[in-house]
Structure 1
Amino acid sequence: MTTSEQPAITLPAAREIIALHTAAVAAGPSSTAPLADDVLGWARVNHFYNASLWAEEDLARRQKALDAEIVANKRAIDRFNQARNDAIERIDEWLLSALGLVDASSIGSLTPRSTQQAGARLNSETAGSMVDRMSIMALKIEAMRLQTLRSDVDEAHLAACRERLTRLRQQRDDLGDCYDELLADSAAGRAYFKVYRQFKMYNDPRLNPALVVENTAKP
């Protein structure tokens, strides 16, 4: 098979990602993270942890809760945020592998090696980060949609929320267009992005200064 006869790379389009998020929102909260064995699976995992974060963030802002409950919320937020970022990295690894823009032997390492074409521009935001942002937009859209259905507020509140809902949907559409363009440009050799390790320090007892002091303090 010649190069011109090679099958086109099939990558998830923004409309598929948005449909995935919409379906997850409609299904409601889940207590168990989905399993992942492909890029869409990792997008589901990412969304699960974004939804979990959203719920915990709301709870952490309660004014009448016990201090111990807020501490539990904060620790859950840290865990969920770590898992959310891990899923973003998996999404980028899958997409870059499909695009042939990362050395396969370096996948999973701390420093995956890019294999971009000469002259390709480096995109500062990764496709995985865009998927993550679309997930958050799905949660915002649903939360704002519910505001437009309230019967305990005045018309001014409802009108403002309807306007915000329209803007949020437009923002997600624009983001989806940027995602599709990045993948198209990357497939054509015009652009590339990298797997960026987040190196979250606050969860690591070796790197968080407060934890270092706590763990080395004399009893």
Structure 2
Amino acid sequence: MSFDPAQLVSTITQLQHDTVARWHEVDPDNPYEGLLNTVCQQHQFNFLLWHEEDIARSPDVTDQRIAAVKRAIDGYNQNRNDYIERVDEALIELLTAEGVAPAEDARLNTETPGSAVDRLSIMSLRIYHMNEQLDRTDVDEAHREKVAERIARCHLQHADLSQSLVELLGDLQQGKKQLKVYRQMKMYNDPTLNPYLYRRLRKAG
């Protein structure tokens, strides 16, 4: 895949849009390769996380079900964050393959491209589900107007974020900015870092 920032962002956002619609009809799949495979997998974790969050907020589910949902949410959220960093690693590989190296005075960005891709993923989910609300037949016009206004704002935010990502990728391609991957891990999922887990294991031993 060539590193054309505008084309790359367009391809990523189209992937996210297409898969959200498809995954509401069939089981989540990932027919892509390379960077797009990583982007799709990261997006899939957001898709699964979104729908577990819906269940968690349902008042008619049992405590046992809520506990299972909470564990699923923790797992998907960990995977989601892991794949944000994998997106960044895949981008570094693409830049390196093109012989791109950051300048000595290259700046860091407060948000990595992978984090922006994650936010675009969530925006695509929000837009899809907002459109579901717009299509409901059991609501009045006031509801539809409220939803339509929110959809318009979502599209504006999505467009602005997409353009910001294009600009960031352009700066990385020109060596004006540098990209680092820190390989962070959420402490609550690590039995050696979560006090409740390691104290419980110590007592059990």
**What's the TM-score once normalised by structure 1's chain length?**
0.84
Paired residues in the alignment total 199
Q: Percent identity?
A: 43
CA 1:9–1:40: 2 relative to 1, 3 Å: same
Question: Is there any run of 5+ residues in structure 2 with no aligned partner, and where?
Answer: none
Q: Which residue number in structure 2 is paired with residue 104 of structure 1?
A: none
Q: Which residue number in structure 1 is paired with residue 156 of structure 2?
A: 170
C-alpha deviation, 1:166, in angstroms: 0.6
**What's the TM-score once normalised by structure 2's chain length?**
0.90
Q: Distance in 2 between matches of 1:161 and 1:68?
A: 34
Note the 1:26-65 alignment, pairs <5 A: 26-29=21-24, 31=27, 34=30, 37-65=33-61
1:20 aligns with 2:15: yes
Q: Distance in 2 between matches of 1:156 and 1:164?
A: 13
Q: Which residue number in structure 2 is paired with residue 129 of structure 1?
A: 115
Contact (CA 8 Å) 1:34, 1:41: kept in 2 or not? yes
C-alpha deviation, 1:188, in angstroms: 0.7
Q: Distance in 1 between matches of 2:39 and 2:3?
A: 19
Q: Distance in 1 between matches of 2:53 and 2:45?
A: 12
Q: Which residue number in structure 1 is paired with residue 176 of structure 2?
A: 190
Pick aligned residue for 1:119 from 105, 117, 124: 105
Q: In angstroms, what is the RMSD of aligned CA positions? A: 1.9
Q: Which amino acid aligns with 1:48?
A: Q
Pick aligned residue for 1:210 from 192, 196, 203: 196
Q: Which amino acid aligns with 1:203?
A: N
Note the 1:120-159 alignment, pairs <5 A: 120-159=106-145
Q: Distance in 1 between matches of 2:168 and 2:157?
A: 17
CA 1:35–1:206: 2 relative to 1, 3 Å: farther
C-alpha deviation, 1:191, in angstroms: 1.2
Higher relative contact order, structure no. (Cα contacts within 8 Å, ≥ 6 residues apart): 2
Q: Distance in 2 between matches of 1:149 and 1:33?
A: 26
Q: Which amino acid aligns with 1:79?
A: G
C-alpha deviation, 1:25, in angstroms: 1.2
C-alpha deviation, 1:196, in angstroms: 2.7
Q: Which residue number in structure 2 is paired with residue 80 of structure 1?
A: 76
CA 1:140–1:203: 2 relative to 1, 3 Å: same
Q: Which residue number in structure 2 is paired with residue 96 of structure 1?
A: 92
Q: Distance in 2 between matches of 1:215 and 1:68?
A: 23
C-alpha deviation, 1:100, in angstroms: 2.6
Q: Deviations over 1:116-138 (max 9, x none)?
A: 31121111100011111100000
Q: Distance in 1 between matches of 2:37 and 2:118?
A: 13
